[in-house]
Amino acid sequence: MATLKDVAAECGLTVTTVSRVLNNRGYISDETRKKVYAAMDKLNYRPNEVARSLSKKTTNTIGVIVPHIRHPYFSEMISNIENAASKKGYKIILCNTKGRNNKEKEYLDMCTSNRVAGIILFSASVAVQEFTDSNIALVTVERFVENGTAAVECDNRQGGELAAQHLIDCGCKKLLMVSGVSENLMPADDRAIGFEDVCKRNNVFYQIVSTSIGQYNSLDYHELLEGALELDEEIDGVFASSDLIAAQVLQVCAKIGRRVPEDLKIVGFDDVMISQITDPPISTIHQPIKEMAEAAVDMVIDASEGKTVPKRTLLPVTLVKREST
């Protein structure tokens, strides 16, 4: 069985350098990292994670807790987190709560017992009191908690402003916004604040409808959307708080005979793949998912190493114009 010394000899580096690569300590060039991993593959060397965790108090593992795996936004975010973690020599433990509080507590305990370097948390309902006296780094994405280590958010208010202004600039006179879950207070609620401010400044009629936790868990908004659009046939612009909802607005419009963009224009939020493959493709607010994922991973690693990280990071959003407007 190959040893650390064998790996060092194979790639022409010192044992100390190889150890630094495996433990992600200090600056390591990409070239050096590639040499070490190539030698490990050739020799079929596998580091003893248990021994490493006992000596380091943590593993090179990051816990990621999400409420949905099949939601397009979380799918893309998970992919980017895994990629960012891998580049830093870390793995992820993925936990899908599916909105169940008992699973959230179970996953928090599991991450703790597995000596993760930190946790990236997306869920809106996880109770985080237990982290107050914990040494585990807790980085939240699109959620802010006072006792968390750090939070990464996009500028949701700016996104709401951009969406409303774009619909108004496109000639819309009567706007509808489909907002977030009414039962949970989240930073994404600021999208409605920005949307409302712009509508008021431009003296444009608007209404905002909230979604329910049941709709969020099932990812099915068709009934809500059909009811809203049939109740007021003069609505000519819709801002959906996710591209998933925007895609379902398109489906409802096809069902009730509303043409997009001729009769009704649609703006989504997130800029995930679904917004590009609908017919027509959906104009949307681009959320910097890749940058948010990278920031969250960096903060977990820095905090686990005792470095100071910013308490709250806010990244800007941009408007992407497509055929739905």
Tens-digit pLDDT profile for residues 136-162: 888 999 886 666 778 899 999 999 999
Contacts 24+ apart (CB under 8 A), 209-212: 209/176, 209/177, 209/178, 209/179, 210/179, 210/180, 210/181, 210/182, 211/178, 211/179, 211/180, 211/181, 211/182, 211/241, 211/245, 212/181, 212/182, 212/183
What is the chain's mean pLDDT, rounded? Answer: 87
Q: What is the CATH number of domain 4-47?
A: 1.10.260.40
DSSP-derived pairing of the beta strands 283-286 and 318-320 = antiparallel
Give pLDDT, residue 194. Answer: 96
- Rg from Cα positions in the chain: 23
* pLDDT exceeds cutoff 90 at 132: no
Is residue 247 very low, low, confident or very high in pLDDT (cuts 50, 70, 90)? very high
Percent of the chain with pLDDT over 70: 86
Kindly report, as residue ranges, where domains of CATH 3.40.50.2300 are found in the chain: 59-153+289-315, 156-287
pLDDT of 204 reads 96
pLDDT digits (tens, 9 = 90+) for 227-243: 999 999 999 999 999 99
Where residue 269 falls among pLDDT bands split at 50, 70, 90?
very high
Confidence of residue 197 (pLDDT cuts 50, 70, 90): very high
Measured CA to CA, the distance from residue 156 to residue 166 in angstroms comes to: 15
Query: Which CATH fold topology does 59-153+289-315 show?
Result: Rossmann fold (3.40.50)
Helix axis angle, 49-56 relative to 15-23, nearest 10°?
80
Residue 110, pLDDT > 70, answer: yes
Q: Strand, coil or helix: what is 79?
A: helix
Per-residue confidence (pLDDT) for residue 54, from 0 to 100: 45
Give CATH 1.10.260.40 domain extents, the chain. 4-47
Query: In this model, does residue 209 exceed pLDDT 90?
Result: yes
pLDDT at position 40, please? 85
DSSP 8-state symbol, 110: H
- Segment 292-301 mean pLDDT: 95
3-class SS shares of the chain: helix, strand, coil, % to 5: 45, 20, 35
pLDDT tens by residue, 18-57? 888 877 666 778 888 888 888 888 888 876 654 555 445 5
State yes or no: pLDDT of 85 exceeds 90.
yes
Region 176-198: mean pLDDT is: 87
The yes/no answer on whether domain 156-287 falls in CATH 3.40.50.2300 is yes
pLDDT at 134 over 70: no
Give the pLDDT score at 172.
97
The predicted structure's pLDDT at residue 137: 85
Tell me what pLDDT residue 142 has. Answer: 87
**Bond preceding residue 280 cis, omega within 30 of 0:** yes
Q: Return the exposure string of 22-32: e unless at least 16 CB atoms fall within 10 Å of the residue's CB, then b.
A: bebeeebeeeb
Q: Which of 47-61, 99-113, 270-284 has the highest mean pLDDT?
A: 270-284
The yes-or-no verdict on residue 275 having pLDDT over 60 is: yes
Checking if the pLDDT of 167 tops 70, the result is yes
DSSP 122: -
